[in-house]
A and B are shown apart, each in its own frame.
Chain A
Amino acid sequence: MTPFDFNPFGRRNLPKKISEQEEKKLSEKNWVKCPSCGVLIYDKQLKDNMNICPKCEYLFRLNSTDRIKLIFDENTFEEKFNDIEPKDVLNFSDRIPYSQRLKEAKNKTGLKEAIRVGTGSINNIKVATGIMDFGFIGGSMGVVVGEKIVRIVEFATQEKLPLTIFSSSGGARMQEGMYSLVQMARTAAVIGRYQKAGGFYISVLTHPTTGGVSASFAFLGDVIIAEPGALIGFAGPRVIEQTTKQKLPSGFQTSEFLLEHGQIDKIVKRKQLKQCINTLFGFYEKGKQT
């Protein structure tokens, strides 16, 4: 995709930078420093607070496990299609071989791919879902990410389940070349069929959602919700700056910017997200009954 794709960039509205060294030193003492307000937070306290800075509400990234905990009723998430695993089809290597990148990502996250799909309940409403994990090669979409989405959306169509996907991705996975690009069309195709059959899809955009993910299933939600302050866009800000040689407006490509420009329905705080999704699905269920 665009040269910015998949690049794990930080938010541009970060006022303070924390060096890796400092971060390491702090984490040894179980402390985390908020990159936005600089406050020191005890890491367990941060986790208990859904990775939200207690002082300034800065959103630390949630991995898929914590996201599942946040959204789904306890022990209701059932993972599906977890038997397929990514392969190095192009025999790709850059500074390190892709096969090694995959291995490292698996070890680091304990996951097989950058998305988990399945079913779960949100305040007792059963839904089909996909949860992306940015920790796995920047949440990039290769063949298996695409195929898992295809399968879960087909499943949702068959079972007439509402659908919600939580995106967090730099875009297409370059290391899988054209195999990766066509996943944009494949995921869009199944969502089209699902929606034609009357299915209701809530797309939740979290930091960051860009490139080939943003320009496919993520922007096809019947309702699109974003977490506050997320970077969302097709092209990366640096590429836009380099191409246009223009200064980017402040807050460019943030959730707030997208809401203002009519690109999303809502910005919902992390703590209200479950309730908001539940309410919308509730309207959908009600509409089906009447």
Chain B
Amino acid sequence: MKCIKKRSLPFENSVDLIEERIEEIELDGLSESDKTKIERLKSQKIKELEKIYNKLSRWETVQVARHQDRPKTPDIVQQLIPGYVVLSGDRLFRDDPAIYAAIGIFHGQNLMIIGHDRGNGTKEKIRNNFGMANPEGYHKAIRLMRLAEKFNAPVLTLIDTQGAYPGIQAEEMGQSAAIATNLRDMFSIKVPIICVVIGEGGSGGALGIGVGNYVAMLKNSIYSVISPEGCASILWRDATKASKAAEKLQLTATDLIKRSLIDEIIPEPFGGAQRNQKETIQNIDEFLSKTLKKYAKMSAKDITADRYSKFRKLATQDI
């Protein structure tokens, strides 16, 4: 309980209070009247969550998108493709744990999943660079997309990163070239690519695995050209103006679908994906089954042409 409270977000105070009261009553033992009280409090809690989550500001959405209890790529792999095999390495330098990849069977069909992995717990987070990939991560991703062609496996990419890693070695090893090459070469992958932003979609590091035939976002995820903090520190010269920058950048799923910059929003359970991983992943499952059907009968040529023409038209409605 204590642990959950620590992980609740600043704007969820009213929910915390209700939860505390439920906890108090439960500690005192449960009479019949207590049970009804608890039921009442629980429905009150749902209503409160609904109220908060129906009118999240953009900055609040950023905080939800970054919540550490949201499902991560390995969680999604486990639930979508049981019996999966994890694949690693770029065949050049090293394996980048910031990119997690596995192949398995999704409702009777091969599926390759490639996504950012922010990691669980301090040790893993540090190992994974908090999901910020190095060039070798992008090399690994494109290698495995090519491998997916061999299995005739559609690719699901899961985007969850603050951005590509800004490191000395990353620059030496060609972070720019790695991302640029992925952006170009993803257009020639002959199997369908479906992208889902599951948390934070941070700039080029996100787009580096984000060239899909179909691009969706979880309801409370974000996708942005720059982090609100980065934007604030450059344009306002003040990183504390991040909430203002978030408003201006229009980085929520709702913002982006209105502008046809993404194709679909995948719903999250009440109170966000961090409150119910299983249901969230079930929603991704349903979305993916439905979406893959559209591509089932397409030839390789049509699949690449579809991806190209999507991006050829993307973001040009105003010119």
A positions within 8 Å CB-CB of B: 1-7, 84, 87, 89-90, 92-95, 143-144, 146-147, 150, 172-174, 176-186, 188-193, 196, 211-212, 214-220, 232-236, 239-240, 243-244, 246, 248-249, 252-253, 257, 261-263
Let me know if B315 is at the binding interface, CB within 8 A.
yes
Instruction: Compute how far the CA of A178 lies from the CA of B58 in the bound complex, rounded to whole angstroms.
Output: 15
Let me know if B187 and A216 touch, CB within 8 A.
no
Tell me whether B318 is interfacial, beta carbon within 8 Å.
yes
Interface string of B68-79 (1 = CB under 8 A from A): 000000000000
What residues on B are CB-neighbors of A191 within 8 Å? Answer: 184
The 10 closest A-B pairs by CB, nearest first: A3-B230, A235-B166, A188-B183, A94-B235, A234-B175, A215-B179, A181-B225, A192-B184, A219-B180, A188-B184
Q: In the bound complex, how far is the Cα of B165 from the Cα of A93, in angstroms? A: 28
On whether the beta carbons of A92 and B203 are closer than 8 Å, the reply is no
Contact A243 B207, CB 8 Å, known A3-B230, A172-B226, A234-B179:
no
Stretch in contact with the other chain, from B119-127, B246-254, B268-276 = B246-254
Which residues on the A side are within 8 Å of B256 (C-beta)? 178
Q: How far is the CA of A79 from the CA of B40 in the complex (A)?
A: 70
Interface residues of B in 239-294 (CB under 8 A from A): 245, 248-251, 256, 259, 261
Given A2-B163, A182-B315, A248-B168, are A177 and B251 also a contact pair (CB < 8 Å)? yes
Q: What is the predominant secondary structure among interface residues of chain B facing chain A?
A: helix
User: Does B15 lie at the interface of the complex (its beta carbon under 8 Å from any beta carbon of A)?
Assistant: no
Bound complex: CA of A147 vs CA of B319, how far in Å?
9
In the bound complex, residues from chain B placing their C-beta under 8 Å from that of A239 are 166, 230
Whether B88 sits at the interface, judged by CB under 8 Å, is no
Name the contact of A178 in the complex, choosing from B163, B183, B225, B312 (C-beta under 8 A).
B225
A89 cross-chain contacts in B, Cβ below 8 A: 259, 318
CB distance from B87 to the nearest CB of A (A): 24
Residues of A within 8 A of B296 (CB): none
Query: Could you tell me the distance between the alpha carbons of A181 and B177 in the complex, rounded to whole angstroms?
Result: 16
- Residue picked from B223, B308, B319, most chain A C-beta under 10 Å: B319
A95 touches B187 (CB 8 A): no
Considering residues B171, B185, B227, B314, which has the most beta carbons from chain A within 10 angstroms of its beta carbon?
B171
Please determine whether B248 and A3 come into contact, CB atoms closer than 8 angstroms: no
Q: List 6 A-B contacts (CB under 8 A).
A: A3-B230, A89-B318, A177-B225, A181-B224, A192-B185, A253-B171
- Count of residues in B whose CB is under 8 Å from the partner chain: 56
**Shortest distance in angstroms between B163's beta carbon and chain A's nearest beta carbon?**
6
By a CB distance below 8 angstroms, the chain B residues around A176 are 225
Residues of B within 8 A of A (CB): 163-168, 170-177, 179-181, 183-185, 187-188, 203-204, 207-208, 210-211, 223-227, 229-231, 233-236, 245, 248-251, 256, 259, 261, 308, 311-312, 314-316, 318-319
B152 to chain A, nearest CB (A): 22
Q: Specify which of B163, B179, B207, B226 is in contact with A174 (CB 8 Å cutoff).
A: B226
Q: List chain A residues, Cβ under 8 A from B318.
A: 87, 89, 143
Contact residues in B for A185 (Cβ distance below 8 Å): 183, 207, 210-211, 311, 314
Extra A-B contacts (17), CB below 8 Å, given A181-B207, A219-B181, A234-B164: A1-B230, A90-B249, A95-B236, A143-B318, A177-B224, A178-B315, A182-B261, A185-B183, A185-B314, A188-B183, A189-B312, A192-B185, A212-B225, A217-B180, A240-B167, A240-B168, A262-B174
With A188-B183, A219-B180, A235-B175 as given contacts, are A212 and B204 in contact (CB-CB < 8 Å)?
A: yes
- B168, B170, B174, B315 — most chain A CB neighbours (10 Å): B315
Question: B234, A219: Cβ atoms under 8 Å?
Answer: no
The residue from A5, A95, A234 contacting B176, defined by CB atoms under 8 A apart: A234
Report B-chain residues with C-beta under 8 Å of the C-beta of A183. 315
Whether A178 and B223, one on each chain, are in contact in the complex, defined by CB atoms closer than 8 angstroms, is yes
Contact B230 A94 (CB under 8 A): no
Contact partners of B203 in chain A: CB under 8 A? 1-2, 172, 181, 212
